[in-house]
A = this chain, B = another copy of it.
Amino acid sequence: MKLLEERIRKDGRIYPGNILKVDGFLNHQIDVTLMDKIGEAFYEKYKDRGITKVLTIEASGIAIAYAAARCFGVPLLFAKKSQSLNLGSDLYIAKVHSFTYKKDYQVILSKRYLTPDDRVLIVDDFLATGNAMLGLTDLCKMAGASVEGIGICIEKAFQSGGRELREMGFSVTSLAIIDHMTDDGEIVFCSEKDE
């Protein structure tokens, strides 16, 4: 998605350790107009898959899921990372390891909202190691729901998550795929490598 690549290059900031900050438009302050277009891109890709629910994980996935769910005309569902007092007891729980924070956390869904009848599009802002996405696919498996696609805004192709998810048979659509970044601020997208 050219529009997203251009925005990353314009407003993204690179920090040592391959950290890309896009908090000006994607995951702290959010450009709703851009996000609507991201939602439309996922809809175009998966509109024939009978999607019944858009699933993501709190917090930065929620705006993306909202934009996509609007296009599909289905509810959005977000997995929680902590067992809220108010969430009840009838839950699907999967474990996720965070490399960024070097610890395990849980992703949690109320059983009430995901069933074997559901055909799910999973979305998130970043795909790097893929662990969060694996956690969400685990939740779908527990519920007997089918994962029809995984829609990602920014994939880091130099980390293994995208490759592993595709090898497992998932349809992964990443709108901007970063081949590599340099500490002096250069970003090369996979779409540009052959140009």
State the A residues within 8 Å of B (CB): 15, 19, 21, 23-25, 28-33, 35-36, 53, 58-59, 62-63, 66-67, 69-70, 73-78, 80, 85-88, 100-101, 109-110, 112-113
Contact A32 B75 (CB under 8 A): yes
With a CB–CB cut-off of 8 A, which chain B residues contact A31?
A: 75
Q: A23-B87, A58-B58 are in contact. Are A70 and B29 (CB under 8 A)?
A: no
Name the CB-closest residue of B to A20.
B86
Is the contact region of chain A dominated by helix, strand, or loop, or is it mixed? Answer: mixed
Q: Report whether B63 and A66 are in contact in the complex, using a CB–CB cutoff of 8 Å.
A: yes
Complex CA gap A24/B59 in Å reads 18
Q: Is the CB of A110 within 8 A of B28?
A: yes
Q: Given the complex of chains A and B, what is the CA–CA distance between A69 and B23 in angstroms?
A: 17
